[in-house]
Homo-oligomer: A and B are copies of this chain.
Amino acid sequence: MSSDLEAPPAVTQRLGYLLKHAQLRLAELAEPEYEPLGVTGRQLALLALFGDGPGQSQQDGAARLGVDRTTMVALVDELEAKGLVRREVAPGDRRKRLVTLTAEGERVREAGEAATRRAEALLLAPLSAEGADGLRAALLRVVRAE
């Protein structure tokens, strides 16, 4: 802890370890929730992203997700192959491809958000409601500081 400098933090108290394993556990809890939808967590995150605002380009999405634009191509390919999104040439700039959800994509996005909430609730189960809110708020502040 921040006030615990004399006791060398064991490996399991390192933030890097804790963040990694919290993520692994969340993925473990979420997988069975996502499986019936036929999509991965990563794909659902993409649906949430492109379903969020109107017509975002692949590059917009890549920037917001923190991945390379070449990675985004493959990710959108997957969703398009499943019929969950469409690529449309941007009216104002013909280089850009706006990614929009199909009706099916919208349906999966909604089901996926419910599944995500269930998985997160399972992860946060050991915490009080205040503890859970505090965790999310703290992570948000730490990440926003970028």
Contact = CB atoms under 8 A, between A and B. Distances in A.
A74 interface: no
A19 interface: yes
Secondary structure type dominating chain A contacts: helix
B136 A15 contact: yes
Interface stretch (A75-83, A91-99, A118-126): A118-126
Please tell me the size bucket of the interface on A. 35 or more
A18 B136 contact: yes
A126 B113 contact: no
A32 interface: no
Contacts of A113: 8-9
B11 A30 contact: no
A66 B137 CA distance: 27
Interface in A37-73: 41, 45, 48-49, 52, 64-66
Quickly give the copy total for this chain: 2
A19 B18 CA distance: 9
Contact of A11 (B20, B48, B144): B48
B134 A3 contact: no
B19 A136 contact: no
Interface of A: 1-3, 5, 8-27, 30, 41, 45, 48-49, 52, 64-66, 113, 116-117, 120-121, 123-127, 129, 131-146
The 8 closest A-B pairs by CB, nearest first: A18-B139, A135-B138, A19-B23, A2-B132, A21-B143, A126-B145, A1-B133, A126-B141
